[in-house]
Amino acid sequence: MIRPVNMVPAKARLFRSMGDEGRLVVLEALISHEQRVTDLVHSTGLSQSTISTHLAALYAAGLATRRQEARNVWYGPAHAAIERLLDASEEVVLANSVQAYACSSPCCDPQAS
């Protein structure tokens, strides 16, 4: 595989494409299994038009696949690394929240005294 010398612009586009809460909700819902728009409407609570818009953006960014089966269109994650990326982002968020909400009183933190 040919790899660009500077991956930063491509990575920035990837992260921008995931920079919307609704898009992340849809992407996380797709991780478990392929789903149709109607399935995603029920599992996320978002409207059909919102789901369709987010799926179009995720597909255009190379984050989602689209497969036609008779009259149904099934969507799924484009690569297994997407799940690892979402897991890593959750780990970072949780690590930061532990620091932000850590109790610093002497009873909880021996270094605080």
pLDDT tens digits for range 12-68: 999 999 999 999 999 999 999 999 999 999 999 999 999 999 999 999 999 999 999
**Domains identified in the chain and CATH numbers:** 8-112 (1.10.10.10)
Check: CB of residue 31 under 8 Å from CB of residue 82.
Answer: yes
pLDDT of 88 reads 94
Q: What angle do CA 38, 51, 67 make, to 5 degrees?
A: 65
Which residue, among 38, 39, 27, has the nearest Cα to 64 in the 3D structure? 27
Phi, psi of 73, deg, nearest 5: -115, 125
Is the pTM higher than 0.85? The answer reads no
